[in-house]
Amino acid sequence: MTKVLVLYYSSYGHLEQMADAVAEGARAGGAEVDIRRVAETAPPEVVAAAHFKTDTAHEVIEGPDALKDYDAIIVGAPTRFGRMPAQMAQFWDTTGGLWFSGALVGKVGGAFTSTASQHGGQETTLFSILTNLMHHGMTIVGLDYGFKGQMGVSEVLGGSPYGATTIADGDGSRQPHAEELAGARYQGKRIAETAAKLAA
């Protein structure tokens, strides 16, 4: 059975919800799925003052070597000024040994994100994640236009051909929309199916 890792960082729970949806889609695509998060690196006083969500059912990833165990890796992180946050970047900065050995070459990768506003850097953040995956030699699967939920302009919604997205609002009050979660499931399923075909 194809093995998929959903690896994420979430400050307020939006990406945690998206990670669960991505994993649900990957399971529907026939994969065995693990969900892991990267460690929080912000000082405890910052975490407390900013009211970060610290209760989660997902374990912190054991380290970069764990990535070798998967056929596909789907990475989710919110935007920080149009790029992935330091917590996720710090994790990928520890994967040099995997890059040197080519351990991730040929695996399937994807990305998902959230922003405070509709034009808050979703696509640049996705690319900041995807750049790392491409340097590792991974085959990228985005949120293709087979998912029609990202079409139309009657409602403000996330969604990008580069990966599933959601919009949180400046105060984090907006939760992922049903259509955004559906996009995350779609992308997870497509990645699992692609990984299975490549593994065969």
Task: List the binding residues.
Answer: 10-15, 79-81, 99, 135
What are the binding residues for substrate?
99
Q: Compute the distance between CA of residue 134 and CA of residue 25 in angstroms, rounded to an integer.
A: 23
Q: What element of type H or E holds 166?
A: strand 164-167
For the record, the structure tokens of 1 come out as 């059975």
Closest CA to 80 of 121, 132, 48, 19: 121
What are the binding residues for FMN?
10-15, 79-81, 135
What are the binding residues for NAD(+)?
12
CB 39 within 8 A of CB 15: no
CB 183 within 8 A of CB 148: no
